[in-house]
Amino acid sequence: MPESGVEPQASKLRERALGLLARREHSRVELTRKLEQAGFDAADIRTLLDGFEAKKWLSDQRFAESYVADHRARAGSIKLAYDLRQHGVSDGIIDTVLGDNRDSELDRARIVWKKKFASAPADAAEKARHIRFMQSRGFSPEIIRRVIKGTDDI
Q: For position 102, what pLDDT does the model report?
A: 67
Q: Does domain 6-54 have CATH number 1.10.10?
A: yes
List, as one string, the DSSP characters of 52-90: HHHTTS--HHHHHHHHHHHHTTT--HHHHHHHHHHTT--
Through-space distance between the first and last CA atoms of the chain, rounded to whole angstroms: 69
| In contact, 108 and 72? CB cutoff 8 Å | yes
Q: pLDDT value at position 119?
A: 87
Q: What is the pLDDT of residue 1?
A: 39
Q: What share of the chain in percent tops pLDDT 70?
A: 90
| CATH 1.10.10 is held by the domain 104-153 | yes
Contact 91, 60 (CB under 8 A): no
pLDDT for res 38:
93
Q: Which residues of the chain have pLDDT under 70?
A: 1-8, 101-103, 151-154
What distance lies between CA 148 and its chain's CA centroid?
A: 26
